[in-house]
Structure 1
Amino acid sequence: MDTVVLILAALVLAGRGIRLIYNARAEPRKRMLHAYSRQVGLALVPEIVPELSSRIYRRERAGIVGSMVGLVLGVATLLVTNGSQNPWNGLLVVVAMTVGSTVALIGNDSRSAFAPVAEAPRLARSASPGLGDYVTPLDRTFSLGLLGLATLGYIAVLGVIAINPDRVFDDVSVRTILWPAGLLLALATAASLVTWAAANALLGRGQPAGTYIQLAWSDAFRSTTLRSLVGIPGIIAAVSSCVLFLALSEAIHRPEPGSIGEILVGSFTIMGPVLIMVLVSWSVTSLRNRSTTHFLRRLWPETAVELDRRRRARGAAGDDQPDDRPDNQPRDRPDQGSRTRTPA
């Protein structure tokens, strides 16, 4: 294993551990709460701040621990497969951390969602929200699209290897090229089925809430969980394609100038970075306001309109601070006319 990779992994692991300890303090937990409030577009109401702070801290802690586990597993995989010669191994470790963090967040949120609740009067909706109320069509399409493209790419590569233009694969161990990417593609396919079942199970779970603001915050947490859940198959599929194309580009040694082999090496070398850029662009897009407040626009439209109005006013005034004063809560209270109170 490359010593540099081991040192960097150790430094990142130590940094994650320090952040885990630091976030246990009161001030960082307060900042996390305010940041999440701005992200989802909901005001902080004093009565539920302690509960929200505790829940957000647990989510942050789960994400850090999950990324640490992903880091250890990623480095261990490189050790076992002796993959230290690949210059893109750092990307694979980062993706392992991302998947580990996402899985841990989903596990934490799912545990909260399926925890037993006390018998008490609570609010109920006339119609249960669906996946489209929490996750934007772009996020869902992008994830399934990456899975579809990865599958088509894998089939195309199988065809290229079978044709073997200019005999460029005569000295290549095809098994060593195809099995890692094929395994990841199979995992992505399985993940799409598992996440579909998990999303339906989560959507079928009730959201105990005694007030409208509690119900809106419950929607916020559920939206974050489902957005992370939907993204897992796409992430794994993109990594599968990266592994496949980079392995192919390294497998063909010194092709003849102008030959089909040279064209294949160039295309395989380009496709890896392109997929990385697509993945990064998707991640950035998913964190934009229109994605994080999608649930407001679908389930609490009056609150979304008020949020947009206040943000435009703050932007014109140059004020980026969140409006989380207690006297602001009635304006931010989700539309009560469309909801009914029923016994638990």
Structure 2
Amino acid sequence: MNIDPETVRAFSGAFLLAMLVLCIGLVVAMSSKTSAYARADRFSLRVRLPYGTTATRDSVARRGRVSSLTTAITMLVTTVVLSPLLLTPVAASPAFPIIVVIPLLVATGFASAVVNVRERLFRPAPDAPRVARARALGAVDYLDRFRLVLPWVLAVAAALAFTALALQWVRQPARVDDAFAAAAVFAAVVSVVVFAALPAVERLVLTQPQPASDTLELAWDDAFRTTALSALRLSAALSAWLACALALGALWLGADVLFSTFASQVPTWGLIALTFIYPSTGRRLRTNLYPEWLRRPVAPEGSPA
């Protein structure tokens, strides 16, 4: 069923307005110092790290507030920058929300990395004791191999999907959905940029100093570093997934009307799944990152506690 382009444009305008209101609300909410402590406490539970001291809790809350506020402001600025798209033919495309969401999600991922590079969690006094890792750590020390490899697997899948889309476009262009195809091309361009920048930005995060006075402070810094690296991988995985899903959607929507609902929902399902794989609210660290006194052997499955 064809929808009037002006109706689609109106829905696009309403979507963008809702995004602006949401982003403004997030900026206001993340500005609160009181809520920063509540978010810090939840983060502490998820990463399974105690504070140790009140000063550590204050530092974690401050760092979390800066990170959350930066992300919210990045979302707001990106949404404002994308607003002129309403004046272009893109606004009349059913894929407009996805076209807006792609740079929004990518920008927030890189904003997390910027905070990690610029902000220091702890600032020990010059005469205070210092601790450091015995060796330089790489991304594999912070994220398991599945999370490291997944974006590249999705990139390969996207390349294969685009190959199929290109072949179909040459053979039967009438059976390709133009709106989804255009959105897929946009996602692919964003994905190429993200994957090209990923190694350099990731290296920049990993080479930042980690001033800490004890192993617990070092573990806390690693917790925020893990979150930043996870956000970067999420940006890459999201852009590759959307390029793949939109390319396949362009084929399905053009092939058979029975696939319309399914094809239009696949990108959203993938987005939701990836946010669980790369959570931004903290997750248990890899065992080697915890202080020795916090490490616990894992009992075999089915054994008594």
Q: Structures share a fold, TM > 0.5?
A: yes
How many residue pairs end up in the alignment? 291
Q: Which amino acid aligns with 1:104?
A: A
Q: Residue 106 of structure 1 corresponds to which residue in structure 2? A: 113
Alignment of 1:1-344 (within 5 A): 2-44=9-51, 45-86=53-94, 88-112=95-119, 121-162=129-170, 164=171, 168-169=172-173, 180-248=183-251, 252=254, 261-262=255-256, 270-287=262-279, 292-295=283-286, 297-300=287-290, 302=292, 305-306=295-296
Q: Which runs of 5+ in 1 are unaligned?
A: 253-260, 310-315, 317-344
2:176/2:251 contact within 8 Å kept: no
Partner Cα distance (1:144, 1:96) in 2: 19
Q: Which amino acid aligns with 1:54?
A: R
2:231/2:278 contact within 8 Å kept: no
Partner Cα distance (1:125, 1:28) in 2: 32
1:74/1:93 contact within 8 Å kept: yes
Partner Cα distance (1:65, 1:293) in 2: 27
Partner Cα distance (2:245, 2:78) in 1: 18
Q: Which amino acid aligns with 1:299?
A: L
Partner Cα distance (2:298, 2:33) in 1: 30
Partner Cα distance (1:223, 1:171) in 2: 44
1:67/1:99 contact within 8 Å kept: no
Partner Cα distance (1:199, 1:277) in 2: 27
Moved more, 216-225 or 138-147: 138-147
2:227/2:280 contact within 8 Å kept: no
Please identify the structure whose Cα radius of gyration is greater: 1
Q: CA deviation at 1:114?
A: 12
Q: Which amino acid aligns with 1:234?
A: A
CA RMSD of aligned residues (A): 3.5
Call closer, same or farther: CA 1:179–1:26 in 2, change over 3 Å: closer
Name the % identity: 19
SS in 1 for 2:213: coil
Q: For residues 295-323 of structure 1, what are the alpha-carbon distances to aligned partners after superposition, in whole Å with 9 as ceiling and x for unaligned?
A: 3x1322745544989xxxxxx9xxxxxxx
Partner Cα distance (1:303, 1:147) in 2: 40
Q: For residues 74-118 of structure 1, what are the alpha-carbon distances to aligned partners after superposition, in whole Å with 9 as ceiling and x for unaligned?
A: 4433542433341x4334433443223222222222222699998
Partner Cα distance (1:186, 1:22) in 2: 33
Partner Cα distance (2:20, 2:177) in 1: 35
Q: Which amino acid aligns with 1:145?
A: V
Call closer, same or farther: CA 1:127–1:220 in 2, change over 3 Å: same
Q: For residues 182-229 of structure 1, what are the alpha-carbon distances to aligned partners after superposition, in whole Å with 9 as ceiling and x for unaligned?
A: 343233133123111221232223211122221111101100001111
SS in 2 for 1:83: helix
Partner Cα distance (2:258, 2:291) in 1: 49
